[in-house]
């Protein structure tokens, strides 16, 4: 079994590498043809990300291969197909029509290209805190466009205030508005990062499907802008910006976002981070003191935001959702103003059942996954984290283990937790 898995992963790795190289090559071809066919060469200074590329490829501008590619045609073709798919997939959808404090009565009122305003659902949390599961619940609703980790290109850092926060928040707002053509360094770096880190877009499965079929469009700002603008539901998962800063986005009436803050037991988070190669050595990720200082600050921000934005902000604990995933998902979707459609139920049916399909890691048990740390960490390790995390754990209602025996039998989430 172990041998099989090793082989599997080395094959995928090879494929990953090959497709990354192909993507780079194809994307450069796409840029060349785009610049040539759109006479963009004259406006290059307004697209700084590609300025370097544009300059270095000018000698290719008479390439026949390049001139035979009609990007405009390809973009329109993909958009029309996706438009049809979305309206078909949502034919029976019950639009809010005043429920959930949202007035939209039909699809058009939620679609940017029709001058509507999408339902923008944002999850704010930190690394390894269960947000993948919650993000996938939202993404199981048809017509969702998933802005997965929009600050991936910034590396393993937490943003807690100026000077980093200003540009980061601008970038988040650009993505939420589908402004892939924004001319700022973050957008440039984000798209360039995506060229050789395909995980930036693979979680956005409705986009990724098009990236596979039309690799020359995948990182094209105009394509991304138009494609994104078709989707009535936009979701975003943020793990690098602390909650306090999100207030600025919540205050923007034209964005109209709803924000779900997700906290996880720091013992579970730290245990899960141990298995990530990118974590050790980065204080923002590796140090439980730093994590718990953030969780304490997030609690005080959550108290404030709950009062200030009772309809558009909510804080939950990952464990509470996981032990009761059907109810939990229902509550989350209601908060975001989305229907609990059959696709959500199907997603939960296949992702919350123990031992479904044998050892496949896709079908993990959401009910027990949050508590693995109890058997994976020794009591001294737990005790160390608890000492660093007293305040954060008390605030969020997590119970301390008193000794090695207690660790195996106690219920870690039965503390006092209320944010009203």
80 interacts with ligand NAG by CB under 6 A = no
Q: Does 72 bind ligand NAG (CB under 6 A)?
A: yes
Strand partners of residue 317:
263
SS3 331: helix
Q: Which of 103, 185, 327, 354 binds ligand NAG (CB under 6 A)?
A: 103
Task: Please tell me whether residue 63 binds ligand NAG under the rule CB under 6 A.
Answer: no
Phi/psi of residue 9, each to 5°?
A: -70, -30
Nearest to 373 by CA among 130, 9, 123: 130
Verify binding: residue 73, ligand NAG, rule CB under 6 A: yes
CB of 29 to ligand NAG, least distance (A): 16
> How far is 160 from 242, CA to CA, in rounded Å?
6
CA atoms within 13 A on the CB side of 405: 0
Task: With contacts defined by CB under 6 A, name the span among 27-35, 55-63, 83-91, 130-138 that binds ligand NAG.
Answer: 83-91
Quote the CA–CA distance of 89 and 207 in Å, as a whole number.
16
Find the shortest distance in angstroms from Cβ 206 to ligand NAG: 5
For ligand NAG, the closer of residues 209 and 387 by Cβ is 209
The length of the chain, given as a count of residues: 420
Stretch that binds ligand NAG, among 97-105, 121-129, 327-335, 379-387 (CB under 6 A): 97-105
Q: Which is nearer to ligand NAG, 66 or 285 (CB)?
A: 66
Question: Comparing C-alpha atoms, which of 177, 150, 312, 309 is closest to residue 240?
Answer: 150
Which position among 128, 147, 174, 206 is part of the footprint of ligand NAG (CB under 6 A)? 206
Stretch that binds ligand NAG, among 2-10, 56-64, 98-106, 196-204 (CB under 6 A): 98-106
Binding to ligand NAG by residue 210, rule CB under 6 A?
A: no
- Residue 62, interface with ligand NAG (CB under 6 A)? no
Buried b (16+ CB within 10 A) or exposed e, 119-149: bbbbbbbbbbbbbebbbbbbbbbbbbbbbbb
Q: Is 17 in the site for ligand NAG (CB under 6 A)?
A: no
Q: Evaluate whether 222 touches 75 at the Cβ level (below 8 Å).
A: yes
Supply the DSSP symbol for 49.
G
Closest CA to 291 of 124, 123, 125: 125
Is residue 209 a contact point for ligand NAG (CB under 6 A)? Answer: yes
Least spacing, CB of residue 282 vs ligand NAG, in Å: 34
The Cα–Cα gap between 162 and 170 comes to 13
Binding residues with ligand NAG: total (CB under 6 A): 17
40, 42, 45, 46 alpha-carbon torsion, rounded to 10°: -50
- What three-state secondary structure class fits 178? coil
- Using Cβ positions, the residue closest to ligand NAG within the complex turns out to be 73
Strands (E), 200-281: 233-238, 257-263
| By CB under 6 A, residue 391 contacts ligand NAG | no
Per CB under 6 A, the list member of 44, 53, 83, 85 interacting with ligand NAG is 85
- Stretch of 9-17, 85-93, 169-177, 282-290 lying at the interface with ligand NAG (CB under 6 A): 85-93
For the record, the structure tokens of 350 come out as: 């296949």
**Binding test (CB under 6 A) with ligand NAG, winner from 9, 101, 300, 391:** 101
Centre a 10 Å sphere on the Cβ of residue 100 and count the other Cβ atoms it contains: 18
Expressed in percent and rounded to 5, the helix, strand and coil fractions of the chain are 60, 5, 35
Interface with ligand NAG, residue 89, by CB under 6 A:
yes
Q: How far is the CB of 86 from ligand NAG (least distance, A)?
A: 8
Residues 330-369 that bind ligand NAG (CB under 6 A): none
Among 7, 55, 88, 408, binds ligand NAG (CB under 6 A): 88
317 binds ligand NAG (CB under 6 A): no
Report the interface residues with ligand NAG, using CB under 6 A.
70, 72-73, 76, 85, 88-89, 98, 101-103, 206, 209, 402-403, 405-406
């Amino acid at each position: 079994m172990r041998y099989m898995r090793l082989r599997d992963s080395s094959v995928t790795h090879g494929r990953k590498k090959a497709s990354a190289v192909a993507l780079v090559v194809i994307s450069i071809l796409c840029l060349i043809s785009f610049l040539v066919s759109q006479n963009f060469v004259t406006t290059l200074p307004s697209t700084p990300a590609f300025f370097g590329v544009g300059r270095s490829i000018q000698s290719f501008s008479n390439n026949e291969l390049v001139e035979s590619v009609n990007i405009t045609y390809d973009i329109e073709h993909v958009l029309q197909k996706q438009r049809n798919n979305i309206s078909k997939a949502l034919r029976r959808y019950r639009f809010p029509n005043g429920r959930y404090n949202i007035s939209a009565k039909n699809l058009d009122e939620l679609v940017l290209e029709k001058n509507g305003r999408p339902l923008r659902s944002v999850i704010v949390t930190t690394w390894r805190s269960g947000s993948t599961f919650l993000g996938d619940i939202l993404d199981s609703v048809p017509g969702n466009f998933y802005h997965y980790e929009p600050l991936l290109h910034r590396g393993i850092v937490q943003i807690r205030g100026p000077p980093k926060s200003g540009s980061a928040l601008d970038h988040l707002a650009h993505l939420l508005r589908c402004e892939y053509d924004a001319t700022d360094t973050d957008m440039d770096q984000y798209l360039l990062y995506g060229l050789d880190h395909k995980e930036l877009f693979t979680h956005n499965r409705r986009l990724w499907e098009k990236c596979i079929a039309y690799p020359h469009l995948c990182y094209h700002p105009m394509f991304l802008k138009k494609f994104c603008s078709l989707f009535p539901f936009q979701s975003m998962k943020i793990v690098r910006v602390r909650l306090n800063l999100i207030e600025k986005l919540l205050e923007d009436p034209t964005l109209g976002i709803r924000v779900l803050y997700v906290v996880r037991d720091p013992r579970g988070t730290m245990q899960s981070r141990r298995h990530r190669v990118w974590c050790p050595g980065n204080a923002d990720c590796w140090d439980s003191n730093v994590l718990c200082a953030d969780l304490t600050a997030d609690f005080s921000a959550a108290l404030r935001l709950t009062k200030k934005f009772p309809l558009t902000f909510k804080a939950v604990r990952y464990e509470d959702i996981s032990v009761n995933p059907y109810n939990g998902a229902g509550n989350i979707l209601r908060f975001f103003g989305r229907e609990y459609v059959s696709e959500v139920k199907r997603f939960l049916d296949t992702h919350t059942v123990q031992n479904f399909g044998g050892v496949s890691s896709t079908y993990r048990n959401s009910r027990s996954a949050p508590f693995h740390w109890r058997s994976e960490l020794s009591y001294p390790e737990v005790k160390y984290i608890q000492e660093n995390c007293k305040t954060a754990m008390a605030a969020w209602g997590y119970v301390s283990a008193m000794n090695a025996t207690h660790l195996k039998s106690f219920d870690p989430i039965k503390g006092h937790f209320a944010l009203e």
